Structure 1
Amino acid sequence: MNDQPAASFQLLPGAAESPVILHVPHSSRAIPADVRRGIMLDDPALERELDHITDSHTAEIAAGAASASVRTPWRFVNQLSRLVVDPERFPDEREELLAVGMGAVYSRTTHREKLRPADYDGQSLIARYFHPYSEAMTEAVANRLEAVGRAVIIDVHSYPTEQLPYELHGDGPRPPVCLGTDGFHTPSDLLAHAEKTFAGFGGTGINSPFSGGYVPLKYYGVDPRVSALMVEVRRDVYMREPGGPAGHGLDALAAALAELVDAVSAP
């Protein structure tokens, strides 16, 4: 958990004509040693927290989908744990997330226990990890727009079967596959393709327990050429919770995601 990868994120090239970027922000458990020193949990407690907070095996799902797609999608994969920084938050995150310690730099765990000291200054982590990640993702989208005239960002996430205390809106439906949408960036055909693709896993739901989709701020709410959808898979569909090995459901999910990629990649 303390081994830092060579880079904090990785852009894996896809087909030149593909508009799709599979975004995998929460799959890693890696925490650099110097960042670990700012975390208050002992090693066993931190391992348990990583079991709960990590979207385990989602990078494998995205990789399987990329291998099976007719037009290989691009993949943007976070190489560090979201306990370092959460690249899908913003430094000025809305108050309700800050209230539970889940801004860009977490101060609380999934069970609302102390993760970092109350006076911890996360600005160095934001400068070191958050901004470079955001800039690189913005550039990746810009490259797709330049190459093919559009970009389709598909977030690959997972969520626990049982609601965790940190979830702000976790008391609603928890379908096998939750599709997070954005009113501006999720076109109806993208959502329809996703609903059809993932229907075989026992049903899909929309925006419960999680909603929205990741779009770099440069394009958010202003550029309709950038589409976004969040795919949240309930973990019992493909793995043993919490933090356990993947099961046969992983290959089926990768195949379904590949089908979605191909559906939205067509000219």
Structure 2
Amino acid sequence: MTGTVPSFALLPGAEESSVLLHVPHSARAIPDEVRAGIVLGDPELERELDHITDAHTAEIAERAAALAGFTPWRFVNRLSRLVVDPERFPDEREEMLAVGMGAVYTRTTHRGELRPADTDPGPLLERYFRPYARAMTEAVAGRLAATGRAVIIDVHSYPAEPLPYELHASGPRPPVCLGTDAFHTPPELAEAARKAFAGCGGTGLDSPFAGTYVPLEFYGRDARVGALMVEIRRDTYMTEPGGPAGPGLGRLASALASLVDSV
């Protein structure tokens, strides 16, 4: 791609809304200077983007925001996670480093080479990761200041069949996987999500993906920040991999709007 694409966008909602829909993996855009460090040819890169991108999740969040009684705020990544993955830890605590998929990926979903293994992640972290983290922290702080609490709902998708990079692929793959955190996901939030998505084929907890995203400033410290990860199995709303959305998208957007309204 040429030209400049903003790294992320905070899309305002109702001032009285405590909900922040976070969409980190929906984009395919890769700046030219980042593309230069990726070893895949163009056709191979497009195939990798088909597999790694949470396609149409930004549209699901946008439709849900329009349907909700109080418009939630949205924080949307405008760049591919192949630039940086804003939900990874940028250090050795991140288990995905084991498969070359920490904050800066060096391996693909099929464990092929994406970047040289000795790539210095520092410049990408400084240019893209840290500004994103600061802005997300400020967005959460804004909801806390305005409403006294913040509820981060991560909007993700995952493939019907496991990809080779997945570390926990042997468990259930429900139509909607709800990722939780012992500190930041109160039982009533998980139950509200279960009810909201009941008409979308069923839900499961923490399989095949677990946990939530909370900025480190609040993580494990501030119980006013609630968090839930919504992982939607892609065959329920789109043609895999990387294909168009189908009628399931509208049903999922309505369910997400119901969840927003219930919290």
CA contact (8 A) 1:160 1:236 kept: yes
Residue equivalent to 2:98 = 99
C-alpha separation in 1, matches of 2:96 and 2:143: 31
CA contact (8 A) 2:17 2:73 kept: yes
SS in 1 for 2:261: helix
Residue equivalent to 1:14 = 13
Residue equivalent to 2:219 = 220
SS in 1 for 2:197: helix
Give the AA of the match of 2:148: G
1:242-261 counterparts in 2 under 5 A? 242-261=241-260
CA contact (8 A) 2:88 2:94 kept: no
Give the AA of the match of 1:261: V
Residue equivalent to 2:109 = 110
2:135 matches 1:136: yes
Give CA-to-partner distance per residue, 1:216-256, whole Å, 9 cap, x none: 00000000000000000000000000000000000111010
Unaligned 5+ runs, structure 1:
none
Report the Cα offset of residue 45 of structure 1: 0.3
Give CA-to-partner distance per residue, 1:69-114, whole Å, 9 cap, x none: 0000000000000000000001114353111001000000000000
C-alpha separation in 2, matches of 1:249 and 1:161: 15
Give CA-to-partner distance per residue, 1:176-230, whole Å, 9 cap, x none: 0000000000001100000011111221000000001110000000000000000
Unaligned 5+ runs, structure 2:
none
2:51 matches 1:58: no
SS in 2 for 1:76: strand
C-alpha separation in 2, matches of 1:159 and 1:148: 32
Identity of paired residues, percent? 72
Report the Cα offset of residue 8 of structure 1: 0.2
Report the Cα offset of residue 6 of structure 1: 3.4
Q: What TM-score results when the alignment is normalised by the length of structure 1?
A: 0.97
SS in 2 for 1:257: helix
CA contact (8 A) 1:5 1:79 kept: no
Report the Cα offset of residue 4 of structure 1: 5.5
CA contact (8 A) 2:8 2:132 kept: yes
Residue equivalent to 1:180 = 179
C-alpha separation in 1, matches of 2:236 and 2:17: 28
C-alpha separation in 2, matches of 1:194 and 1:96: 27
Q: How many residues matched?
A: 263
CA-based RMSD of the aligned residues comes to 0.9
C-alpha separation in 1, matches of 2:2 and 2:25: 16
2:76 matches 1:77: yes
SS in 1 for 2:22: strand
Residue equivalent to 2:170 = 171
Residue equivalent to 2:198 = 199
Give CA-to-partner distance per residue, 1:117-146, whole Å, 9 cap, x none: 122111100000000000000000001000
CA contact (8 A) 2:26 2:55 kept: yes
Give the AA of the match of 2:48: E
C-alpha separation in 2, matches of 1:161 and 1:93: 29
Give the AA of the match of 2:219: Y
Runs of 4+ in 1 over 6 A off after TM superposition: none
